[in-house]
A and B are shown apart, each in its own frame.
Chain A
């Protein structure tokens, strides 16, 4: 009996495996070159079968398909030597991201890779346009199957699209308001909701430039798929199968990388469906990609009675200080302007660029900046940099500016008036890009609900959304301020002035200047501000306190290189640390130390000034004329520099020291013989000079 049960179980597993393989073969076949040729002879509408709805049982099928795809991916990876796919935990979404090599739908005519799927899509569309018309019936069931696959891989398809800088699907725009501005700035890549697959509404993955499609979808009207759309869709939603095709066709030709136009801006519509989780997932996703995307923001500064517009490339902490970038002006060298930004870029065709967008890429291809084109920009003060910087939309109560194309002037004006901006006046000249109009000094007072149909104008609808900002202070880096100079803590855009704000868990007080404070909020360390479900942290730290001297300037005082002098600010230092520097009257060039043999006669200075610099490698006690017997007795003096008693040493290790000691006592005795006066003429100084004279006489007897 148990044996019978085991046999039945084995038979069941075998049948299941056969069914799975069959399913896989069907999908694989649908993308093979052979099949694509066959498609031209048959005409089947490439649409979901009529009345196809997703049912709970579909989930089970999806799981199976996903499992098959993972298995397939591993197999394909093994065939291609891709170690990334050997991970047993790999799933279909990972496999989508890791697909990064050549795929060919038709070995004779076209190549497709995920890196240029848009072009590839176009190629496929052209080569198979006629064939699509004959394939609809046969592919109906296949589309159903693919729908399921798309459901399973939808997020990754979006990732795939974003990675390749292709526009996001219309469905994802309509059904999700979760943009990835956090990671992309204003690139407007959109994360779809898994629970609401776009295909279920009949939308496709077309570009979202047209708001007509968007509107029809919002009305619940399924947008009709064109043939090209369908083919594109099928190719787009099956990145894993590319591997299979690649393997089957053994095509390894890598297509040339082409630059694609930047995507059009799609505003983030805040309808309350946005979730923090989705943003986070997307950000992590973005980080793991090969090419790191950054935003390019528009900046406006008012200088010398005119507006100056530029673009600010975003910068990460670990980005290089200097970077070679290929952009709209050709190859440029960007330097870090701040922790957050590279230096400004001022493109040649600024007006067109604002409208059409632009892409900049580091020469190594690892970093990319995208300015998504649009017709309306909201500019707001930014904490990290002066002037106004492009923001996500109008915020209540804050001073902002709006830049729009001339054709949008009336609509923008209406929107601003509705937002409670008093008397917005359009400005045309004063440095504003050609074809654009600026509204400045806007302070919206009325919140307006966001609506999908408002499209781009939603950015002119301030919501009750608010944010915590740190203003002023002395900022050392991204979120660190200097102790003693903390930022003002402000809550911007809050409609309710009685909102609770907490700093490090303590209720904060609002002062007369609109800043929040609490006890110990300005002490060294990290602090967290929390309000209305959002939190923002700042840190107060001490700056450097270990400054060191350095050679800003170095000059030789004479022909002796070892007598070089270093200048650092107002400090004048000997180039060698074991030397002492003295400023001496021009008449006294001889320096005497306490040890017999400590004697230096400085070379004449370069210019005839009353004083000059001399160096010695011992503590100087006396400063004498270089030749006391030939100096002017009336003006020359024996100057006391530092009162140190003469050393009792009488032993000299070598002949050089002995000769120096002889010079030492000779010059003291010469000065004594000349009768030079001591300066200062104090009892202590005269007594010390007498001691040196005695020591000199004793040495003379000893060394004679």
Chain B
């Protein structure tokens, strides 16, 4: 059993609650795997402590199959309609199947791909990558039309163009620091790129910094900017403080078309999704360094700009 069955289940249900998702993962995935790693009810504190529910959830989000915990379904998920997301490489175009997946969709794609190169690649804790390669984008568009898929040209570029830079006001909301002193407070260190123990008082007095307030394993992240507090996604906050410290954490190798960064500085979700869609594969983790493959120079440049690196 792999995550393909989970995606089939999610596609059949279209939407649901987080609890149902966990139960389905239990039933479909965990029966075939001996252990799940960690207490499933404990939300992740850092990247390495994720239980499988969250690991699979993040992978589904990165690959654009489903969205979790958004405004209309704050404690649930929804499957994205089936989309052929394309991106251009030097001399060819690649289409990655994202979103809902059914046996019928797979049959239609197989039937329409007679003159194209269809590849199905398994990857751990993710649905298989379904990739179609063509010489022109119009071939992919025809495939999408015949297989009744939504066609998204230049998906990585479009995504990066749609996302505001990390310091944009839209990515944070003004907030007060949590009331009371019964919180475990940590501060993100730009030196170690990790969390150091802090106090509520220090967070309140600070004029700048990224703080994590945890109570009963429910972390919340606050950016202090000019003495004001803002709640924001943790990865966005990390890049803001890293930028303020004038520290560069991204590196790009044009030769191997690889974009690298420390695992603690994983980019915010939509940028992560754009980089993932360049290859259709989840980033590799190699000695604490995340590596994204098949990244064109233009995509890398946009990523640097968005992350203010």
Contact = CB atoms under 8 A, between A and B. Distances in A.
Interface of A: 302-305, 321, 335-338, 341, 343, 384-386, 474-476, 482-485, 542-553, 555-557, 565, 567-572, 581, 583, 605-613
Contact of B79 (A303, A484, A547): A547
A610 B81 contact: no
B83 A609 contact: no
Interface stretch (B35-43, B112-120, B176-184, B214-222): B35-43
Contacts of B81: 547-549, 568-569, 571
A570 B30 contact: no
Interface in B9-50: 9, 11-14, 17, 19-20, 22-23, 26-28, 30-31, 34-39
Given A338-B20, A482-B8, A570-B80, 20 more contacts: A304-B35, A304-B37, A305-B35, A386-B27, A386-B30, A474-B8, A474-B12, A545-B102, A552-B70, A553-B70, A555-B170, A569-B67, A569-B98, A570-B96, A570-B273, A571-B155, A583-B161, A606-B165, A609-B160, A613-B158
A529 to B, nearest CB: 21
B13 A610 contact: no
Given A304-B38, A570-B152, A606 B9 contact: no
Contacts of B104: 545
Nearest to A386: B26
A543 B11 contact: yes
Given A482-B12, A570-B64, A607-B306, A474 B20 contact: no
B244 interface: no
A406 to B, nearest CB: 27
Contacts of A556: 170
Which 3 pairs of residues, A with B, have the shortest CB-CB distance? A543-B12, A569-B80, A569-B64
Contacts of A483: 103
A384 B31 CA distance: 11
Contacts of A385: 23, 26-27
B298 interface: yes
Contacts, number: 171
Interface string B93-130: 00010111011100000000000000000000000000
Given A474-B5, A485-B5, A567 B159 contact: yes
Nearest to A342: B19
A335 B19 contact: yes
B19 A570 contact: no
Nearest to A543: B12
B101 to A, nearest CB: 11
Interface in B260-309: 270, 273, 277, 298, 301-302, 305-306
Contacts of A343: 19
Nearest to A569: B80
Contact of A571 (B5, B31, B80, B100): B80
B65 A569 contact: yes
A474 B160 contact: no
B80 A609 contact: no
Nearest to A605: B161
A552 B68 CA distance: 9
A565 B301 CA distance: 21
